[in-house]
Amino acid sequence: MMTGADYLASLADGRVVYFEGRRVDVTTEPGFVEACQWIAGTYDRFFDPAPDATNPVFHIPRTAIELRERVEMLVNSDITMSLSAVAFALLTAAPAMASVDPVFGERIARYYAECVRRDVRFAEVITDAKGDRSLGPSKQADPDSYLRVVGRDADGIVIRGAKFHITAGPLAHELIVMPTKRMKAGEEDYAVCCAVPANARGVIQIAASHHPRSDDTRSHPISARTAHPDAMVIFDDVHVPWDRVFLDGAVEQSAAVAHALGLWERLSGCAHLAEVGDLLAGLAQLIAEANGTDRIAHVRDKITDITLYATMVRACFEAALANAVLRPDGMLVPDELYTNAGKYAAANDYAVMVRHLHDIAGGTVVTAPTMADYDNTDLRPFIDKYLVGRSGVSGEYRMRLFHAIRDLTADSWGGREAVSWLQSGGGLYAQRSVLRGHYDIDRAKRLALDVAGLTDLAPAATVRS
């Protein structure tokens, strides 16, 4: 297993990462180094010196308890632990890939074992540039708008394209590349799934960072700890050896990994958003108490809305675990219906819950003096005097609550999170369409026919038993 120091050293591998026009070293660049340290901390937390020890992030859940423990571990760890969903997606989709050619299944098994041995972290590399969204890959003006195979030789394939919004891409070891959607006949070169080392020749990452520019963690109590870079990842004719190619040309299985990833990603999203819901409720209650508004009817109603939101999201997460399916290979897979319903509801209503919090908290969320202002002895007496709230609530306490709310919901990182919850794991539309595919609409129709007394009159094709 790797220690935190091993992880930091492993990033000095020649990877090409740009930030604001400059090539950067992710282990020293401000805004990246903190995320590296966060990840290194997780490595140290789970490090076990026993020679045959493996990182628990790779342990396959076989019971509901193990699945719950796994998700709780992800929620309480750095972001790259959650991105291990993509390795699980490969395993989940392996039977589908093996149905095309058993060699694909064998390569996935070998690759996974090798990743466990090396104790690596992954990036989920799916979302293509996509050009004109109304057109499929083969109809685009530029054929590289979706990543594709542009060459094959005895040693492997050559891929070209760009993938967008890749969470923590600059901090990962392995980039797991897969099609963003199901490909059609004629789009065989786009039906490619493979693993690319982050430092492979031709891989260029252009990173975006929402890490606070200020060093004062009191003003950014959340993002100073958790903000990490995302990247546009360019594959400029990258050679991938055959043992890292898990699908090539089989359009009928092109969506298998992305679909499996959607499931694992959304389960984790659901669990995270249940926690975030509780955090929003806690912040809303604290600031209402500090402001002296916690007994006002509309404020109480809004806090109740947030608590209902958090509870319903958690209920879907629990239902996804309770109805998990044990596969023939012994892997326990969460229920599709409840996972997608939970992630959809959580993402769809997140903005409303944030609006409630802002409504309750007031405008100081975005105008509070900074902690540097508070450190200025000329200003501090004014802040102490005028930022106080209900009796016993100090100006500093209230100001720091405002900073936490702004950082989580109304600043650079908060904005990133709002878009992230909506779009990551696929947008709302993707979750709705999976939900629709798993909801038992025939049972619902039979129920309705029965209640309406129309069962005997229904046309034969109306319901399937």
Ligand X SMILES: Cc1cc2nc3c(=O)[nH]c(=O)nc-3n(C[C@H](O)[C@H](O)[C@H](O)COP(=O)(O)OP(=O)(O)OC[C@H]3O[C@@H](n4cnc5c(N)ncnc54)[C@H](O)[C@@H]3O)c2cc1C
CA distance 273 to 422: 11
Residue from 187, 212, 95, 90 nearest 136 by CA: 187
Nearer Cβ to ligand X, position 196 or 401? 196
**Burial label, 258 (beta-carbon count in 10 A; 0-12, 13-18, 19+):** buried
Residues in the chain: 465
Is residue 266 at the binding interface for ligand X, with CB under 6 A as the rule? no
Nearer Cβ to ligand X, position 86 or 360? 86
Is residue 84 at the binding interface for ligand X, with CB under 6 A as the rule? no
Amino acid at site 245: V
- In angstroms, what is the minimal distance from the CB of 223 to ligand X? 13
- In angstroms, what is the minimal distance from the CB of 253 to ligand X? 18
Is residue 2 at the binding interface for ligand X, with CB under 6 A as the rule? no
Residue from 133, 37, 68 nearest 317 by CA: 68
Nearer Cβ to ligand X, position 130 or 225? 130
- In angstroms, what is the minimal distance from the CB of 155 to ligand X? 27
CA distance 136 to 451: 44
Is residue 409 at the binding interface for ligand X, with CB under 6 A as the rule? no
Is residue 427 at the binding interface for ligand X, with CB under 6 A as the rule? yes
CA distance 194 to 246: 5
Q: Give the x/- contact pattern for ligand X in 145-164, rule: CB under 6 A.
A: ------------------xx
Q: Give the x/- contact pattern for ligand X in 161-190, rule: CB under 6 A.
A: --xxxxx-----------------------
- Residue 138 · residue 190 · CB < 8 Å: yes
CA distance 212 to 189: 41
Nearer Cβ to ligand X, position 145 or 364? 145
Among 78, 174, 187, 230, binds ligand X (CB under 6 A): 230
Q: Give the x/- contact pattern for ligand X in 89-128, rule: CB under 6 A.
A: -----------------------------------xxxx-
- In angstroms, what is the minimal distance from the CB of 88 to ligand X? 15
- In angstroms, what is the minimal distance from the CB of 185 to ligand X? 18
Is residue 130 at the binding interface for ligand X, with CB under 6 A as the rule? yes
Start-to-end CA distance of the chain, whole Å, equals 52
Nearer Cβ to ligand X, position 148 or 398? 148
Stretch that binds ligand X, among 100-108, 306-314, 419-427, 456-464 (CB under 6 A): 419-427
Nearer Cβ to ligand X, position 175 or 288? 175
**Burial label, 233 (beta-carbon count in 10 A; 0-12, 13-18, 19+):** buried
The single-letter DSSP state of residue 59 is P
| Buried-exposed string 307-340: b where 16+ CB fall within 10 A, e elsewhere | bebbebbbebbbbbbeebeeeeeebbbbbbbbbb
Is residue 423 at the binding interface for ligand X, with CB under 6 A as the rule? yes
- Which residues of the shown chain bind ligand X in the complex (CB under 6 A)? 124-127, 130, 133, 163-167, 230, 416, 419-420, 423-424, 426-427, 429
